[in-house]
Structure 1
């Protein structure tokens, strides 16, 4: 049997990477000691996670790779999704609540990936349709 492969997502803000991401990473390392656990983070969060848990592969985006405008940001995150899908994770856990990480998690879930945690309540397809029609509802 192959080793279970788990991805934890905690991209921002940096304080939450320290307060949530590191303890979560350590928790899952203790609970899934035989699993290959990896982490997705952003900019300095990547460095922080690597320092806290040097035996864990950490990857993600650098500051200049995350566009300020929504459409280029979505394109960047869809590219990140392709990379994640190609890794073949057995479990993807999104600990982030920011829009782009939740967009990424929802896209992965819509693509059939084993995502748990936080993600958008509507599909990426619905989001894009509402965006195109400019009818995006801000309901909670």
Structure 2
């Protein structure tokens, strides 16, 4: 069990941890040999995705302790729900801008954020489809 207690300040720190900008911007400048600007272009760079593992490490606890706090304290549970929403938005924004490898973004969206591909089938849905295919025609 962690020696650190969960407080409302801990919940606020969790929200701050997940509140960063999804990406940073910089201007790339190309120059002519005479020193004049030839072209400027905006470049976006993905910032590190905030995670519960990273927050736990900053707090000096393990992720299991965060789960215990979430179960025991309504204010921390609310903060965790908000943090998950913020994490999903962070991931979606960077993926839509093409700042992540598409395959990796899909895997992280599924594994970390619980987002599913629209082609994802549950076993129950798949069984229903198979049953429908094998059912005799009523004609």
TM-score by length of 1: 0.26
Higher Cα radius of gyration: 2
Q: What's the TM-score, normalizing by structure 2?
A: 0.26
